[in-house]
Structure formats: C-alpha cells, structure tokens
Amino acid sequence: MSLDRLMEGIMKKQNPTVAGLDPKLSYIPAHIKAESFAQHGKNLEGAAAALLAYNKGLIDALCDIVPAVKPQAAYYEMYGWPGVKALAETIAYAKEKGLFVITDGKRNDIGATMEAYAAAHLGETDVEGESFTAFGADALTVNGYLGTDGIAPLLKVCAQKDAGIFVLAKTSNPSSGEFQDQMLHAMYEPLYRAMGNMCQIWGKELPGRYGYTGVGAVVGATYPKQLAELRQALPDTFFLVPGYGTQGGGAEDVAPAFDKFGGGAVVNSSRAILCAWQKENCEPADYAGAARREAIRMRDALMARLGGISLPV
Amino acid sequence: MSLDRLMEGIMKKQNPTVAGLDPKLSYIPAHIKAESFAQHGKNLEGAAAALLAYNKGLIDALCDIVPAVKPQAAYYEMYGWPGVKALAETIAYAKEKGLFVITDGKRNDIGATMEAYAAAHLGETDVEGESFTAFGADALTVNGYLGTDGIAPLLKVCAQKDAGIFVLAKTSNPSSGEFQDQMLHAMYEPLYRAMGNMCQIWGKELPGRYGYTGVGAVVGATYPKQLAELRQALPDTFFLVPGYGTQGGGAEDVAPAFDKFGGGAVVNSSRAILCAWQKENCEPADYAGAARREAIRMRDALMARLGGISLPV
C-alpha cells in the first residue's frame, strides 16, 4: 500500500532515484520547439506542446532505468492551462510506461479545500455521480505548516487509491533553517524534527508492507547530518531527497538517507538529467539518450555506495 | 504599489471584505449545470463551464459591493485542466470588472521553481521573447516554511507587476497550533509570530503608499487574541483574515485585525456568500442576488463595528 509500489520499483530496477521533470523551455532542443510552435503558434499552447513532446522522449528513454518521475507543478502552471494540460498528459504517459509519478506541488490547505487538492492530484473527481481523473499521480509533495487538518484529508484518499504523500521536513535550500532549524521550546528539538515526528504519527493510518508508511518526508541532500538524524529518528518514514547533483549533494551525502537494506529513500535529480545533452554537448536530437546516460551514471554512483537494495518482508 | 490597489478599493467601496470564489458543484444552481453539461457533456469540461458561468454571475452581482475576490486554486484543479482554464478565465473576468484578485494557492518552493510560480500567478511567462499572462492575479497566498529562498523570487515579480503576496502566519483551522503555536527557544515567541516578523522584513522591499507593504500575512478570524497581538507587532503588514462566518468568526472577532483608521485588513467570506441562495431558500435563478444581499449584510456588520475606513497618506 501507499509508497510500497515505489519501493518495489526501486528494488526491481535496483535504482533509488527519481527523475525530476522540470522542463524549462531553455532545456528543450530547438527542433522540438520549432515543431510545436509551427503547429500551435509561439504562445502558451506551443510551449506546452514542446514540454509534452520533450517529456515523452525523456520518459521513453528513462522508463527502464528509473522507477519514478517527479514533475514539478510550477513549470507547468507557468504556461497557464495549456501547461497544466501538459502536466496531466505527462503524468498519464509516465504511468502508462510503468513509472511511479510524484507530483511536486507542495500543496497545503485545510478541510474541504485539502480534500479538493487530494481529489485533484491523487484521487478522483466526482461530477454528479461520475468519476474522472484530474491529474492522477501516485504521490504528492505537501507542506505541513497547517497541521493535521491539512494532512488528514490526504490520508483518506491515499488509502482509497494506494497513493502516498511526502511532507516537507528539512528542505535542501540555504535558507531552510530560518524556520525549520528553530529549536522548539517545549520539545527542545528543531521544527523539522517535529514535522518528521508528525509524519511518523500520520503514517500510522497508511501502514506499508516493507516497514515504511504512505507518509514520507522531504529531506534535502544538502544537509547530510540532518538526513542521518532523521533516518534514525523516523524508522517508518520513507524519504524523498532533493538537492543531489546541481544543488551540491553527492552519493556520499545522501548515503545516510538509506537503511541497512539500501532502502528507505529515493533521491531526486532534475537538471543534471534534463540538461545532460547540453552538458555532454551532444546532438540535440540525442537529448533523451544523454538523459539516459546521466541517469545510469547516477544510478551507478548511488549503487556503488549502497551495494544493493533489498526489501525486508 | 503592491497591496495599495486593494486598500484603495476597500476605501472606495467602504468595505474591507473579499469574496472567496470556491465553487463546489453542489453550490451551483441546477439550471447552470444542466446548460453546461448539455454543451460540454457531464465531465470535467462540463463542470468547469458550470464553474465559470456561476462565477461570472457572482462577479457581476458583487463587483460594485466588494473590492476583491479570492479564487481558491484547489476547487479549480479538482476539475483538471478545464478547471484550471476556468480559474484563468475567472481571474480575467474579475479584473475586467475592476476587482482585485487574490489567488489562494498557498504556493511554496525555492529559487527557479518559485520564479516559475511567480511568473504563473502574478507575472508574465516568456515564450522565446514574447510575453504571455498565464493566470495574472493581483496577489497570491504563499507558505513561508522554506524561508527567504521561497519568498525573494516573488518580491521581484511583485515590484515589476504592482502585485502582492499574503504569507500564512496563523491559519484559522483548529490544528493550526500544532506547529504555528510552538514557542521558539531562541526568540521565545511562537512560530506564527516569527513568520509575521519575517513578513515585516520581506515587506521592506515592497513599500506602500498607505503604511502597509506588499507582503501581507494570513491570520485567522478564529484566533482574535493572536490577531490583536500581530496587529500590534506588525505595523507594516496588511492582513488577509479567513474564518469569518461559516468557520465561526464574527465582526467582533475580526475587529482586532484593523488599525485605528479601519484599515490594515481584509476579511474573507466564501461559503456564506456562495451558498446564500441555499440558505435564503430563494429561487436558484436569484443565486447572485442572494450572494449580493449576503455581501451587503457582511459589509454592514463590519462597517457598523469599524465606523469608517480612511487611508492615512
């Protein structure tokens, strides 16, 4: 249940990575853009068509290497509703190809409004008795600042749809400490730790088969000490680890995120994979091949450090 | 600059309220839904068409009474990309009618990703040298858990586009205290207050003409003591106050949000206005009239308490 399907994919492919699909126009080869603009115009529709074509090429090239993709909602919303349509189509295509899809939306609200987000991103939408899938990802990143009122509505949908969430605990950015590192007076532990503790509690409603619940936590690769601390403190909480590669974290930095079976975490890389063709300086037509080569390099670097990944049953 | 246009609208209409546009299908009169389903089918497109028609009727009926509307993104995302298209069209229509539009999206991320959200919701999107408006609201609600890295990209766009943001400080829900009320060890003040203090600091980059910056804070009507405390502590920070009406706050509860000129805050009401026709049990065709009557009742209740609203120059 919950994040188990992600863990099974990681184990099967022996690769604990997720490819971030954050498609900026500047990452997309000129021939894809030219074709999209010719068909739809040089406008939001044309840009969205380019995003989708680029993503499909990446998904085709990555789907037997990585277990999961993580589209970042902001890069689609930026292109208005056509971009958001491209997000829905990207999710559907990735699922067709057997990938676990994490929508990175960092959504947060309360009660009926959070129920609407849960239906939108993980569940189904009722239109007077008929059900439709709006976005239909397998997991969603969420922000827990509003407390249990903002998380409970998600848990219900996760249980129904075999989906999961990742709650921001310690994010990878330089200023994450402004609030997240503040020591709380009553508990004498930092806010990120208190957020992690709540992930343990919320997760009890979504038990999994492999020791981890359906409530994961986001913990940045750029803070290896906190990664190690939280891995120890949150034995039932699976980690989504951003900040590998371009943001500065390496295989050694993310090693503390994993348990002794090589499980317990999935590491995200976005730009390094998306822009591999620019860094390799290869033919633009080979952008997906370059992404695949970079994904293999990342897998091999992580697996060299981890040895292997097994699932305790 | 920034939130000044909102304050000018409040002063002109002598009404410190914002109408929440959170259109659930169950709020929409049957004749609107029947027409939309007949045209588009009983599906996400049909539902989205009903949302838009319902919103336009509300906006027509409210635009000379209230200064602002606040569409809640979740209720549009729930209907997939057609719903998100209806959000964009609702925003455009409300702006045409002279309303200040606050998109309630509680967005949060860092760096380039937050820049993408800022472009999406407040700014413009560049498509190879040509600019397009994706959603184009006047203000956006945001979650500050990630610190300055998540706010700075918004400030730049706000300065360019004469837009503003509202950062969640103390939210209106029962569990908001789980994190927000935690006393921070170093400052010996609660997290919501530390978040408020950062609004004061972030706001320095967006000075306004009437004593309030372009960085506002969300403070719930359900916590009048904290409202009073924050009004005192954050003299440059304009408040968006949810939780009036259905969530339990009344005119007396929100009074502490205002300054001595009757300024400094805008109070949101969603369900009470949207569902006024159901509560009044009037003809469904008169739903917008009922919304207008409820908006006038709310205005009169608040203004009876405040006396009048003036802008210090």
Which tens digit of pLDDT belongs to each residue from B116-139? 999 999 999 999 999 999 999 999
Residues of chain A above pLDDT 90, percent: 95
Residue B164 has pLDDT above 90, yes or no: yes
Give the pLDDT band (50/70/90) at residue B247: low
Residue with tokens 């910056």: B213
Q: What integer is the mean pLDDT of A174-195?
A: 96
Partner A contacted by B44 (CB < 8 A): yes
| Crossing angle (nearest 10°) for helices A287-306 and A44-62 | 50
Q: Which residues of B touch A201 (CB under 8 A)?
A: none
**pLDDT reported for residue B313:** 67
* Nearest beta carbon to residue A147 from set B127, B176, B188: B176
* Segment 193-212 of chain A within 8 Å of chain B by CB: 194-195, 198
Q: What integer is the mean pLDDT of A195-220?
A: 97
Distance from CA of A280 to the nearest CA of B (A): 23
Partner residues linked to B197 by β-bridges = none
**pLDDT reported for residue B199:** 98
Between CA A140 and CA A35 the distance in angstroms is 32
Contact A182, A191 (CB under 8 A): yes
Burial of B283 (0-12, 13-18, 19+ CB in 10 A): exposed
Partner B contacted by A41 (CB < 8 A): no
* Nearest beta carbon to residue A134 from set B72, B77, B120: B77
CB contact under 8 A, B173 and A132: no
pLDDT digits (tens, 9 = 90+) for B106-117: 999 999 999 999
Partner A contacted by B179 (CB < 8 A): yes
Between CA B24 and CA B6 the distance in angstroms is 26
CB contact under 8 A, B176 and A146: yes
Closest residue in B to A127 (Cα) is B43
Partner B contacted by A78 (CB < 8 A): yes
Residue B248 has pLDDT above 90, yes or no: no
Between CA B3 and CA A232 the distance in angstroms is 46
Contact B172, B243 (CB under 8 A): yes
With CA atoms as reference, report the closest residue to B116 among A37, A20, A278, A145. Answer: A20
Give the pLDDT band (50/70/90) at residue B65: very high
**pLDDT reported for residue B110:** 97
Residue B188 has pLDDT above 80, yes or no: yes
CB contact under 8 A, A81 and B81: yes
3-state secondary structure chain A: CCCHHHHHHHHHHCCCEEEEECCCHHHCCHHHHHHHHHHHCCCHHHHHHHHHHHHHHHHHHHCCCCCEEEEEHHHHHCCHHHHHHHHHHHHHHHHHCCCEEEEEEEECCCHHHHHHHHHHHCCCEEECCEEECCCCCCEEEECCCCCHHHHHHHHHHHHHHCCEEEEEEECCCHHHHHHHCCEECCCCEEHHHHHHHHHHHHHCCCCCCCCCCCEEEEECCCCHHHHHHHHHHCCCCCEEECCEHHHCECHHHHHHHCCCCCCCEEEEECHHHHCHHHHHCCCHHHHHHHHHHHHHHHHHHHHHHHCCCCCCC
**pLDDT reported for residue A243:** 86
CB contact under 8 A, A77 and B117: yes
CB contact under 8 A, B130 and A42: yes
Residues of chain B above pLDDT 70, percent: 99
> What distances in angstroms separate CA A148 from CA A197, A202, B27, B176, B262, one per listed residue?
12, 8, 26, 8, 34
CB contact under 8 A, B179 and A191: yes
Count of other CB atoms within 10 angstroms of residue A307: 9
Residue A313 has pLDDT above 80, yes or no: no
Distance from CA of A77 to the nearest CA of B (A): 6
Residues of chain B above pLDDT 90, percent: 95
Burial of A40 (0-12, 13-18, 19+ CB in 10 A): middle
Query: Average model confidence (pLDDT) for chain B?
Result: 96
Partner B contacted by A192 (CB < 8 A): no
**pLDDT reported for residue A204:** 97
Between CA B56 and CA B78 the distance in angstroms is 19
Distance from CA of B135 to the nearest CA of A (A): 6
CB contact under 8 A, B194 and A182: yes
Give the pLDDT band (50/70/90) at residue A249: confident
**pLDDT reported for residue A188:** 92
Q: What integer is the mean pLDDT of B230-252?
A: 90
Give the pLDDT band (50/70/90) at residue B2: confident
Partner A contacted by B166 (CB < 8 A): no
Contact A69, A76 (CB under 8 A): no
Catalytic residue among B106, B161, B170, B225: B106
Distance from CA of B304 to the nearest CA of A (A): 31
Residue with tokens 């159901």: B278
Contact B268, B101 (CB under 8 A): no
pLDDT digits (tens, 9 = 90+) for B249-301: 789 999 999 999 999 999 999 999 999 999 999 999 999 999 999 999 999 99
Give the pLDDT band (50/70/90) at residue A2: confident
Partner A contacted by B27 (CB < 8 A): no
pTM: 0.98
